[in-house]
């Protein structure tokens, strides 16, 4: 596989030197070639896990071990094989041979799986063989460089819980709805979670300035009184709405997540077709207590400061709080 087929990596980073990476490889058109998720969330049966297909078993038994065989300085710290994609935590312990880098290793790995796929489907006619060879995987892959404190453990937990999240989404689809376009008050959002929270009659904006009378708001009576009021309202079934930007907003957001209180979280990070939240917010979605909204960057003004961005996001939460049963909320392309 040529280097030109790879996603552009982090500019300036040397992918041939020691480092730790989370790598995701996706099958073209999300075809479920590696197996199916078996088990249940409902008790009395096996926990969710992958039941591998013949190709999936070949990947586990033959293709994954080849990485360390051909590159002894490369270890696979964790692997999660899913029906239509693969997650791996890859550790390069020593510099790779001259001319080699992570992209070449991943390209060869994808090529080996593709060859195994062609072999298992050898009934494909010679005329269509070339087309099949170019379509097993999407042409790119994604990587995260694991450098921050706690980042490695977070990704290990994410990979370990992947079958669980998959089963949650399929057994409780209404709580994991995704739309790449919801229009509210003339602003387009992408969304993930329980859409019914938008129509809840009582919604409260969680808005705190960073400082009150010159001191951090979290050290004032304003924080104590207002946070107690908001949590009490949420405990009664009302919905809290916040971008969680200031320290006090973050605290209320985290309390809502921990206690599974109803929450609409407005985030700046885009929500794409395959995007999923981290564990705490995923579990809140599974409980039905969370909706995540992300305004389209095209609909956001150009900010000259973080202060302007902070107030704009809170302006959006104010608009969302005003939504009622008669408010026009246009949802385009809803999917699970």
Instruction: Give the model confidence (pLDDT) of 149-199 as tens digits.
Output: 777 887 888 788 888 878 877 777 767 888 889 998 889 999 999 988 888
Task: Name the pLDDT band for 200 (thresholds 50, 70, 90).
Answer: confident
Residue 226 above 90 pLDDT? yes
* Per-residue pLDDT tens over the stretch 231-285: 988 987 889 999 999 999 999 999 999 999 999 999 988 898 878 898 899 889 8
CB atoms within 10 A of CB 318: 12
Q: Is the domain 3-164 a CATH 3.40.50.300 member?
A: no
Mean local confidence (pLDDT), 32-45: 82
Let me know: does 248 contact 242? Beta carbons within 8 Å: no
Q: What is the pLDDT of residue 318?
A: 92
Q: Does the model's pTM come out above 0.85?
A: no
Q: Residue 260 and residue 281: Cα distance in Å, rounded?
A: 10
* Per-residue pLDDT tens over the stretch 66-113: 999 999 999 999 999 999 999 999 999 999 999 999 999 999 999 999
Alpha helices in 97-220 (DSSP H): 102-120, 126-133, 151-160, 162-171
Q: Residue 273 and residue 276: Cα distance in Å, rounded?
A: 9
Q: What is the pLDDT of residue 336?
A: 55
Residue 334 above 90 pLDDT? no
The CA-atom distances, in angstroms, between 107 and each of 4, 103, 166, 212 are: 11, 6, 27, 54
Sequence ranges of the chain with CATH classification 3.30.70.1290: 3-164
| Backbone φ and ψ of 330, nearest 5° | -90, 120
Q: What is the pLDDT of residue 201?
A: 77
* Per-residue pLDDT tens over the stretch 282-329: 889 888 899 999 999 888 888 778 888 888 998 999 999 988 766 777
């Amino acid at each position: 596989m040529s280097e030109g087929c790879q996603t552009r990596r982090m500019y300036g980073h040397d992918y041939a030197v020691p480092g730790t990476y989370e790598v995701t490889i996706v099958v073209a058109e999300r075809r479920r070639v590696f197996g199916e998720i078996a088990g249940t969330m409902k008790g009395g049966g096996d926990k969710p896990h992958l039941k591998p297909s013949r190709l999936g078993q070949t990947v586990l038994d033959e293709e994954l071990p080849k990485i360390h065989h051909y590159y002894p300085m490369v270890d696979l710290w964790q692997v999660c094989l899913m029906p239509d994609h693969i997650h791996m935590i890859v550790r390069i312990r020593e510099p790779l041979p001259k001319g080699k880098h992570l992209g070449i290793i991943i390209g060869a790995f994808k090529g080996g799986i593709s060859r195994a796929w062609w072999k298992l489907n050898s009934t494909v006619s010679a005329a269509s063989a070339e087309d099949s060879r170019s379509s097993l995987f999407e042409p790119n892959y994604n990587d995260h460089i694991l450098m921050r404190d706690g980042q490695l453990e977070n990704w290990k937990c994410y990979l370990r819980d992947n079958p669980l999240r998959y089963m949650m989404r399929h057994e409780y689809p209404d709580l994991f709805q995704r739309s790449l376009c919801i229009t509210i008050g003339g602003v387009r959002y992408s969304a993930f979670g329980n859409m019914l929270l938008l129509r809840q009659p009582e919604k409260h904006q969680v808005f705190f300035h960073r400082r009150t009378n010159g001191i951090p708001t979290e050290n004032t009576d304003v924080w104590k009184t207002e946070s107690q009021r908001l949590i009490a309202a949420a405990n009664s079934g009302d919905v809290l709405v916040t971008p969680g930007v200031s320290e006090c907003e973050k605290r209320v957001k985290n309390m809502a997540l921990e206690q599974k209180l109803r929450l609409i979280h407005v985030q700046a990070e885009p929500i794409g077709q395959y995007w999923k939240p981290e564990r705490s917010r995923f579990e809140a979605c599974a409980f039905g207590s969370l909706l995540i909204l992300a305004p389209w960057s095209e609909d956001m003004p150009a900010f000259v400061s973080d202060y302007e961005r902070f107030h704009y996001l809170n302006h959006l939460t104010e608009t969302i709080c005003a939504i009622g049963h008669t408010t026009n909320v246009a949802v385009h392309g809803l999917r699970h």
